[in-house]
Amino acid sequence: MKNAGGTVAKDKAGEQVVSPEERILVYLKEEAQKPVRSDKLVEAVLKKKKERNEIMHALDRLVSEKKVILLKGGYAGLPDKLHFREGIFLSHPDGYGFVATEGMREDLYVPPGSTGGAMHQDKVLSVSIGTDHRGRTEGQIVDIISRARTSVVGILHKLEGGYFLSPRDPRIPHEFLVVGGETGKMKEGDLTVIDILRYPEPGHIPEGKIARSLGDPADPSIDTDLVIATHRLPVSFPDPVEEEAHEMARKVEIVASDRRTDLRHLEIMTIDGDRARDFDDALSVEESPDGTFQVGIHIADVSAYVLPGSALDKEAFRRGTSVYFPDRVIPMFPEVLSNGVLSLNPEEDRLARTVMVRMSASGQVLDSAIFRSVIRSRLRATYSRVHPILEGERTDSPEAKFSSHFRALWDLAKKLREERFRNGSLDFDLPEPEIVLDLRGEPVDIIRSPRYLSHQLVEEFMLLANRIVATELTRRYSLAMYRVHETPSPEKTEALGIFLGALGIALHKRKDGKMKASDLSAVLESTRGTPLEKMVHFSVLRSLKQARYDVHPLGHFGLAMDDYTHFTSPIRRYPDMIVHRLLDLPDGCSPEEGSFYPLEQVALQASERERASVDAERMAVDLKKIRFMGQHIGKKFFGTVSGVTGFGFFVELSDVLVEGLVPLSALNDDYYVYDEKHHLLRGETSRKIYRIGDRVEILVVRVDTERLRIEFALDQGNGSESLEKPQRKRRGKNSRRRRSGKSRKKG
């Protein structure tokens, strides 16, 4: 080694002095053929016995500086010789987890004790160390690149000497010591939010400071607040964003011009849910003398108010989407915009983007145009009031005046729908839950949200507009903003084929090995209306990939479309607004000029925020379901097996849209074996089988508010007695009906 003057340091005997750290690094680099146990490593570089402590301290320093990685079992190795994997850590309540890496088929299994203090959804650096007894690739986390959260929600506990917080999310298996904040007003058992001061690390207790109290966990009015805090969703808008929203609402003129067509003469209507507050799409139809129809699909022109790089734009990018809960909405834009000048309110002039489509009476698209417009909605129609008109019923509702328009649109929508399914589009008409709340937020009913013909009418024209716009984007640009849904993986397809084969259903195999939507559509149709319908439809759905955003037109498998985008909901989805901006660019411009952020970054951010909002919305609905079923412990219900796993099977109740688990431990009449290929449990002695689609009778045993799980047991009664339906609370005048999730419009 060289000393401060640049010369090589030597001892009294004239030999070169090598530091303990360098001796360790040289040995691992030049002599060790694989990771070495730390005690063996110390022995290997030890020259004198009295150096042992010095060598051990040197190894500790190298590990803390990450120049040496200490693996499970105390094995030491060099970073550049180990196989690292960067990804997102997905924690399990039982202490283990997985590192998910984009582009890799298999997640890395991380056993308890090897998580390195990582918390759920942290971005981590991990290393593979072999395979476990189940054949899974096993590894450990060696570094935490970035933390996913800065706060934690949990139950506050007062212990001798202070407060502790037990996280509400079971995937965070660490208790936090509360070391700061206002504790005087806090109560034992309160749901509390803490800001993290020290993260869980080996040898250290995590710490946090109280940020705020949410209140008593038994209070149903705090359910949504709990979800918002758990998912760290932004609620209020920063002052500069609110100020800019009000300024743009005053500043932007709603007038026709050379670049904006005046369509205020048309009979334009919005069709939305009974309690919708913002209306971002509207329809019009006119029959021409030659028997063709001019259908106008009019979308709120959000980009006229939200400029690239503005405070509004940056905040909308950060949020990515509006989030819909049973009792409220967290909008993407401030209310002055989302429920004000952007909303296509009746009898008010509004700026819009119009896709005007000329169609034949048979539903064929003859030509189309996309342009800016000024419109004036004549009617705020609702799905429930338009439906009877489409059924041919007479009605005295305000919509009756426009009956001929609705029926003309429905005739065309039916043709579009028929053509879409002929092309192989998948038809999953799965029921959605509608939560009925009283004024305290207590769930008094969970019903199936009605599926009206008017939903299908609007859906078809939104799909049509999105397809037309996507085709235009593909014509103009090499990359843009698309909604993509890729072909199922070969592994999923093969597993589905085996499952269907066991039911006697053949899944078409093509010579090129590629699956087409029409192949799965044929399977769905072959079982529709049969006892196998639910079982098969669930299995097909679970074999599909998740839809996302991408800059390339990768197609939409589920809709059987080559080009598809999101254009029709710019008030609640950021990618839709980007598409509007891309349509504004003059010929020859780069598509990147249509966004303040790189388009690839927009696609990734929007996909991530969409997944986060879906998780939050699902949690909010599950909390209400848990509360509702908690009122019916010990009651009996009919249900259908909706999923089978190695630890039991799930049952969806017939009377209410609620799913619960019958754990394997509750099946005490036999030993049951899980048949993974055929998705069933089989009794070893009785040969009794439980599979998806089976009808069963269950008892509600318990609810788990932390894991959001409802536990059932099979009813061991005679089986012929009539089941007691839940005694639903009477829905009074002050009850509120809230759908879980967004509008049904697929556009």
Extract the tokens encoding 415. 């043709």
Instruction: Give the count of beta carbons closer than 10 Å to the beta carbon of residue 487.
Output: 16
C-alpha span between 323 and 612 (Å, rounded):
9
Sequence-ordered list of residues with C-beta below 8 angstroms from that of 505, at least 6 positions apart, any chain: 523, 526, 527, 532, 536
At residue 39, the pLDDT reads: 78
Under-70 pLDDT residues of the chain:
1-17, 33-34, 73, 80, 103, 181-184, 429, 716-747
CA 392 to chain centre: 39
Closest CA to 254 of 335, 355, 341, 338: 341
Distance CA 272, CA 651 (A): 32
| 360 to 190, 266, 291: CA distances (angstroms) | 63, 20, 7
pLDDT for res 15: 55
Select from 72, 38, 70, 69 the least CA-distant residue to 55: 38
Site of tokens 């192949």: 519
CB 741, CB 664: distance < 8 Å: no
Q: What's the confidence (pLDDT) of residue 183?
A: 61
Q: How buried is residue 498: exposed, middle or buried, by Cβ count under 10 Å (0-12/13-18/19+)?
A: middle
Parallel, antiparallel, or unpaired for β 365-382 and 261-262? Answer: parallel
As to burial, measured by CB atoms within 10 angstroms (0-12 exposed, 13-18 middle, 19+ buried), residue 419 is middle
Six-digit token string for 143: 């570094």
Cα(624)–Cα(60) distance, integer angstroms: 50
Q: Which two tokens stand for residue 247?
A: 């300024």
Q: Which helix (H) or strand (E) holds 450?
A: none
Contact between 457 and 741 under an 8 Å Cβ cutoff? The reply is no
Alpha-carbon dihedral 531, 534, 539, 541, rounded to 10 degrees: 150
pLDDT cut 70: percent of the chain above it:
92
> In the prediction, which pLDDT does 369 show?
97
C-alpha span between 492 and 102 (Å, rounded): 17
The secondary structure of 242-304, three-state, reads HHHHHHHHHHCCCCCECCEEECCCCCEEEEECCCCCCCCEEEEEEECCCCCEEEEEEEECHHH
What are the b/e assignments for 96-105, b being 16+ CB within 10 Å? Answer: bbbbeeeeee
Q: Is the pTM of this model over 0.75?
A: yes
How many residues can be counted in the chain?
A: 747
Tokens of 680: 């069933």
> Which residues 6+ apart lie within 8 Å of 277 measured at CB?
329, 339, 343
Q: For the segment 419-467, what is each residue's pLDDT rounded down to a tens digit?
A: 999 999 998 767 788 899 998 999 999 888 888 999 999 999 999 999 9
What does the radius of gyration of the chain's CA atoms come to, in whole angstroms?
30
Q: Supply the pLDDT for residue 716.
A: 66
The answer for residues whose C-beta is within 8 angstroms of residue 469's C-beta and 6 or more apart is 355, 370, 565, 567, 579, 583
pLDDT digits (tens, 9 = 90+) for 9-33: 444 455 556 788 888 888 778 777 6
207 burial type by CB count under 10 A (0-12 exposed, 13-18 middle, 19+ buried):
middle
Neighbours of 380 (CB within 10 A): 19
